[in-house]
Amino acid sequence: MNIISKLTLRHLKQNKKRTVVTILGIAAATALITTMLVGITSFFGFFGTTSLKEDGNWHGQFENLTKEQLAELKADKRIASVAVVDGDAANTGVRMHSKTADRMKLGNVIHLDGEAVKNKVTCDYDGTLPNEAGEIAIEEQFLLDNDLSIKPGDSISFDLGARYMYDPDGKKVYMAGNYHSNEEFEMISEETCKVTAILHSNSPTDGFDMLMCFDEDLVPKENFVSICLKKLDFRASATLQSIATDHNLTLSSRNTELLISVFSFDKSSRGVAAIIPAGLMALAVIIGVSVILIYNAFGMSLMEKTRYLGMLASVGATKKQKRGSIYFEAFILALFGIPLGIFIGYIGAYFTISILGKAMIDSNMIIGGVEGFETIPVNAPLVVYLFVIVIAIITISISSMVPAIRASKVMPIDALRSVNNIKVKSRKLRINPLIRKVFGYEGELAYKNIKRNGSKATIITLSIAVSVTMFLTIMHFCGDFEKANAYEFNIPYQIYVSCAVSDKDMLKDALAKNKDVTKCYTSDYYLYQFYNKDKDPDFVPPNDMILNKDYLNEGYKFVFDAKVMSLCTIPDEDFATLIDANGLDRTDYFGDELKGVALNNYYRKTSEKPMLNDGIIGQKLFYDKQKGNLPAVTIGGLVAYEKDNYIFRLVPKNRVVVYVPESMFYPRLVETMGEENATVTMDIETNNPEKLNDELLSMLEKDGYHNYTCGNLSEAVGAMKVVILILKTVMYGFTTLVTLIGLANMVNTIYTGTIMRRKEFAMYRSVGMDERGFNRMLALEGLLYGIRALVLGIPLSIMLSYLMTKKANSQMAFEINIPMYLMVITVVFIIIGASMMLSLSKVRKDEIIEVLKEDIC
């Protein structure tokens, strides 16, 4: 080891606190990168594994191919398998020959070839999978529901046909899934098939009770053709597109989750793949903040080492050797910081993924494919850690580059004479007399000290300003994300049950007597869609005269761009309470005309600016074609948002919603929709949703309710909460870690800058400055540092936050979170004070004469 390396090591040991803080800063940045990358690869890998079990083994899909096109695909050497599924919905209904109720005996069948059966069955099963025409696989639960004792090898007879309903225009609509009391069954034929397999809850064919095989040579007119590639890697998406192009076909869909698990992306990759650009942005922020932190550390280190670098230069040290001193220091810090960061990052990723993964699995938000998994396993190949190391090395190299160049330019005479201590002309030290009047002599000294410290003071100021800007900007982004995130929808009920309006009173009485019902209320949620979503030429959208942007306040002009307005019915007593709370007249809403009130809040925030102005009052929400559509509603007033009122949680946020009283709405709904189609919904809060759901289904069937349906939303609500938990964990976890890096930066810079002024402080004491004056001077100096940094950081953060908001949504209202800014201002002064107190705890122990004897810069 040469003399320069030895001196560098000794220098690091002499400045242990700064060295430790710098290592921790490097470790924090590395840990954040590690956690992010390990988390991404683990989630992607898990979703790929579950996708195989949930959706079956397929990579790309085409629709309605001919027999010749199928033959071409099967001959393509890039394709491992080609599977065909019948897409005709008119032959997917089955009716079992059993003595059970219709809701049990009616089910659905999917028709597919043998290759599709192999790719789509991922569950455990008894027997062998069907491979020829006349063979079927059947779900065990479907047999149990119909009290049928069937085993593999037995034959079974059933009616094949279609389940359907009629919409208000009399159009036949084919259906599947849960039974509806208004549905009908149209028989096509009676079938007798051989049962070759009993399935135990097969996720890829969820919603179908039977899998019926057809001949390999048969090509249904309406079909879905899925293919599997021989080689699944990061080039898979490009290969799929190449296959489609070569055969003059159009890919209708891709198995996105499975492709993403091997990091194969294309323009259609959405959902989970959206984390990649967000991850790159986060990585850029981490690198930027880390560069500033480490650069400051090396800058302070260079100031401390100027003396001995000059001495080395005087005895023949070259520019390369002087640069090498800084690079060697960077190497030593990286040697400890990077492994520590990877270790901390892995531990952080392990616990984060374990906790979030368990919550996701327990909430059943991941449907199928999770058997045997208690949580999401950590999965990161060696290349991930190599990538982390490379990024960390690049970050440290960039940070040390400028100080290394400056070190190479240190001249022997300047360094030996310490002429760089003060390079401030006297006229620049002139101050406003007001400073001395307000802060006294100590305040004048504090101001001059900042001027005299030159680059050191600039580094401290910029360090604080960057940390403030970074934190406020990221927090603003998190706030905007929460406002715009429509998925944060915490509905208050767990069960919903619908029936004909004529059965409403009977249903209310029955629910009132049920002990498992904690609370229930009438509530229906409708959408007025001002566009032809299904491209149905017979569909007449609502009259869009109400979508006048003049009715919207500044910052909300984009709201009507969605061309959707929501209508929500609520109980009369709750509507009356709402009217009274907003100073409106009840009699206006319980008369001959159907009137409602519009919620004057878009993001569901109590401090939010009003969305609508009075211009919308008196406007009508209606269809030109009344029959078969929702009744017309006049907006009679505007109401404010109340955080604790349950009615504001019945409809997702980021909606324009109009509330109407139930007693006024349903009679008019019967007039426009007809008695056979007009339904009423009761939302139910309960502590036992599964039991109550089964009881209500049985009651609806037994007691002769009309047009009924019932659903359990408890699992969906739980899954939604987990999604929000994941999003907030990622956002605020990232913010917390980046903030810690910024804090390390501030503490390190202030602490080192203060320690380097030991000789200066000793001189103040030598001329009679007492402890009180000394503390006052430093306190005022910290105050001035904070003010300078905040004057720079706060306007910059406001500007960046504004640009970020407008980039995300050019018409979104920009709001400054005043409490957040006040909190940051307070914390900045606390941190500056704490950092100075930490450094002064060492300076106070100095002997004046001994320090003045030291020949330091």
Question: Mean pLDDT across the stretch 725-745?
Answer: 67
**Cβ-contact 790, 828 below 8 angstroms:** yes
What is the percentage of the chain residues whose pLDDT exceeds 70?
A: 76
pLDDT band, very low/low/confident/very high, at 281 (cuts 50, 70, 90) = low
- Output the pLDDT for position 857: 40
Check whether 62 has a pLDDT greater than 90. Answer: yes
Check whether 210 has a pLDDT greater than 90. Answer: yes
In eight-state DSSP terms, residue 232 is -
Q: For the chain, what's the residue count? A: 857
- Output the pLDDT for position 600: 93
Q: Which of 8-12, 114-118, 598-602 has the lowest mean pLDDT?
A: 8-12
**Cβ-contact 812, 805 below 8 angstroms:** yes
Question: Mean pLDDT across the stretch 129-154?
Answer: 92
- Rounded Cα distance, 83 and 85, in Å: 7
- Higher model confidence: residue 808 or residue 508? 508
pLDDT tens for residues 616-630?
A: 999 999 988 888 888
Check whether 313 has a pLDDT greater than 70. Answer: yes
Check whether 213 has a pLDDT greater than 90. Answer: yes
Q: Which residues contact 461 (CB under 8 A, 6 or more apart)?
A: 785, 788, 789, 792
- Higher model confidence: residue 279 or residue 80? 80
- Rounded Cα distance, 403 and 297, in Å: 10
Question: Mean pLDDT across the stretch 167-190?
Answer: 80
- Output the pLDDT for position 269: 54
Q: Residue 823: enclosing H or E segment and its boundaries? A: helix 818-843
- Rounded Cα distance, 249 and 257, in Å: 22
365: nearest Cα among 813, 722, 113, 857: 722
- Rounded Cα distance, 722 and 728, in Å: 10
pLDDT band, very low/low/confident/very high, at 452 (cuts 50, 70, 90) = low
**Cβ-contact 369, 54 below 8 angstroms:** yes
Check whether 769 has a pLDDT greater than 60. Answer: yes
- Rounded Cα distance, 574 and 659, in Å: 10
Check whether 611 has a pLDDT greater than 80. Answer: yes
- Output the pLDDT for position 125: 93
658 has which bridge partners?
Answer: 567, 598
173 backbone φψ class: left, alpha, beta (φ>0; ψ -120 to 50): beta
- Output the pLDDT for position 637: 94
Question: Mean pLDDT across the stretch 128-135?
Answer: 92
- Higher model confidence: residue 476 or residue 560? 560
pLDDT band, very low/low/confident/very high, at 703 (cuts 50, 70, 90) = confident
pLDDT band, very low/low/confident/very high, at 535 (cuts 50, 70, 90) = low
Q: For residue 46, how many C-alpha atoms fall within 13 Å in the half-sphere facing its CB?
A: 28
**Cβ-contact 659, 597 below 8 angstroms:** yes
pLDDT tens for residues 341-395?
A: 899 888 988 888 787 777 666 655 554 445 556 677 888 888 888 988 998 888 8
Q: Which of 144-148, 214-218, 683-687, 773-777 has the lowest mean pLDDT?
A: 773-777
pLDDT tens for residues 241-265?
A: 999 999 999 998 888 878 888 878 7
- Output the pLDDT for position 718: 62
- Output the pLDDT for position 608: 75
Please tell me which of 448-452, 740-744, 779-783 the model is most confident about, judged by mean pLDDT.
779-783
271 backbone φψ class: left, alpha, beta (φ>0; ψ -120 to 50): left
- Segment 697-700 long-range contacts (CB within 8 Å, at least 24 positions apart): 697/103, 699/510, 700/181, 700/497, 700/499
Check whether 849 has a pLDDT greater than 60. Answer: yes
* The pair of three-digit structure tokens given for residue 680, joined into one six-digit string: 């009423």
Tell me the three state secondary structure of residue 7: helix
Check whether 318 has a pLDDT greater than 70. Answer: yes
Q: Is 652 exposed, middle or buried (CB count within 10 Å of its CB: 0-12, 13-18, 19+)?
A: middle
- Output the pLDDT for position 271: 46
pLDDT band, very low/low/confident/very high, at 615 (cuts 50, 70, 90) = very high
Check whether 487 has a pLDDT greater than 60. Answer: no
Q: Which of 137-141, 220-224, 299-303, 593-597 has the lowest mean pLDDT?
A: 299-303
C-alpha distances (whole Å) from 62 to each of 111, 219, 244, 254, 534 are 16, 13, 9, 9, 21
Check whether 536 has a pLDDT greater than 70. Answer: no
- Rounded Cα distance, 466 and 289, in Å: 8
Average pLDDT over the chain, rounded to an integer: 80
Angle CA 323–329–335, to nearest 5: 135
- Rounded Cα distance, 408 and 405, in Å: 5
Other beta carbons within 10 Å of 117: 25
Instruction: Give this prediction's pTM.
Output: 0.58
Check whether 57 has a pLDDT greater than 80. Answer: yes
- Output the pLDDT for position 188: 92
Check whether 420 has a pLDDT greater than 50. Answer: no
Check whether 724 has a pLDDT greater than 70. Answer: no
pLDDT band, very low/low/confident/very high, at 36 (cuts 50, 70, 90) = confident
- Output the pLDDT for position 223: 92
* The pair of three-digit structure tokens given for residue 188, joined into one six-digit string: 């096509």
Question: Mean pLDDT across the stretch 462-474?
Answer: 79
Check whether 656 has a pLDDT greater than 50. Answer: yes
What does residue 61 show for φ and ψ, rounded to 5 degrees?
-140, 145
Using CA atoms of 309, 313, 319, 323 in order, give the dihedral in degrees to the nearest 10. Answer: -20
Check whether 826 has a pLDDT greater than 70. Answer: yes
- Rounded Cα distance, 137 and 578, in Å: 55
Place of tokens 């000290």: 449
- Output the pLDDT for position 757: 66
Check whether 316 has a pLDDT greater than 60. Answer: yes
Question: Mean pLDDT across the stretch 672-694?
Answer: 88
